[in-house]
Structure 1
């Protein structure tokens, strides 16, 4: 149950990290890089059995 909630949350964060507005184009890779780092941490935690 918790894994499904985290997966849906990460998908929403990935969609929100896409720079679509003109002011957010200068942000570079920071939003999507932070979401990717969070995704890696959660995948490692799930694969080791902590979540």
Structure 2
């Protein structure tokens, strides 16, 4: 239950960090890339049953 909730929250944060708005275009892909790496780590931990 906790792992699924954490995964959903991370996916929403990843979509929110996507640089599609004018004020965030200068950020590049750093915010979404960092959140993507965290998402992959959490996904692997959920699949392994650690979380």
| Equivalent in the alignment of 2:2 | 2
Question: 5+ unaligned residues in a row in structure 2: which ranges?
Answer: none
- Runs of 4+ in structure 1 deviating by more than 4 angstroms, as ranges, are none
| Equivalent in the alignment of 1:34 | 34
Question: 5+ unaligned residues in a row in structure 1: which ranges?
Answer: none
For the aligned residues, what is the CA RMSD?
1.2
TM-score under structure 2 length normalisation = 0.80
